[in-house]
Amino acid sequence: MAQIGAPHGVRGEVRLRSFTQDPMALMRYGALEAEDGSRAFELEAVRPAKNALIARFPGVTNRDAAAELRNVKLYVPRARLPEPEDETYYHRDLIGLAAVDPDGAAVGTVCAVQNFGAGDLIEIAPAAGGPSVLLPFTKAYVPVVDIPAGRVVLERLVLEPSPKGRG
């Protein structure tokens, strides 16, 4: 859901990078948990800043305490998240799905969903091995997402390296 960044000021505030569609929605999920589940973080206050949020946690009152939290990744248990609407998915629900071609032949496995600013990309680890492949996560490339069946159907898939010498 988010990752704690550098301290902001001297009163214990931190920069917070949100991975939610609405960054301010972090306040609605209740306590966030550290990646390993060892610690809960209740947000006391959040405000927008350039390229991040500025957050304050109870008990974090100075820059040194804030610095100790740097790079902590924050999560919400899946049970507390709302069910996604039609045609929307939580990335975690996609990872691990089988990737098949339109005829149902195994192509690989969804190993990640990336977003570098121009839309989601689905990352496929090929069944035959080798480097993973990124495809746009659009209807043209991924026309079927069937989470209950544990699969995605891929179109326009090229898992072979392009021939050398093309130019």
Provide the residue ranges of all domains of the chain, joining segments of one domain with +: 2-80, 91-153
Can you give the pLDDT at residue 20?
Answer: 83
8 Å CB contact between 43 and 33? no
Instruction: Please name every residue paired with 145 in a beta bridge, in sequence order, or none if there are none.
Output: 152
Bridge pairing between strands 106-115 and 2-8:
unpaired
8 Å CB contact between 2 and 17? yes
Can you give the pLDDT at residue 158?
Answer: 52
Can you give the pLDDT at residue 166?
Answer: 43
Determine the average pLDDT of the residues in 55-72: 96
Q: What is the DSSP letter of 115?
A: E
Name the CATH code of domain 2-80 (choices 2.40.30.60, 1.10.3720.10, 3.30.365.10, 3.40.190.10): 2.40.30.60
What pLDDT, in 10s, does the model give residues 133-144? 999 999 999 999
Can you give the pLDDT at residue 14?
Answer: 98
Can you give the pLDDT at residue 157?
Answer: 59
Nearest to 76 by CA among 35, 22, 23, 15: 35
pTM of the model: 0.64
Can you give the pLDDT at residue 81?
Answer: 80
Structure confidence at residue 165 as a pLDDT band (50, 70, 90): very low
Determine the average pLDDT of the residues in 122-150: 93
Can you give the pLDDT at residue 90?
Answer: 84
Structurally, what CATH architecture does the domain formed by 91-153 represent? Roll (2.30)
What pLDDT, in 10s, does the model give residues 21-60? 888 988 888 899 998 889 999 999 999 998 899 999 999 9
Can you give the pLDDT at residue 104?
Answer: 93
Instruction: Please name every residue paired with 120 in a beta bridge, in sequence order, or none if there are none.
Output: 115
User: Distance (Å, rounded) from C-alpha 45 to C-alpha 107?
Assistant: 46
Determine the average pLDDT of the residues in 104-130: 91
At residue 63, the 3 state secondary structure works out as: helix
Can you give the pLDDT at residue 161?
Answer: 47
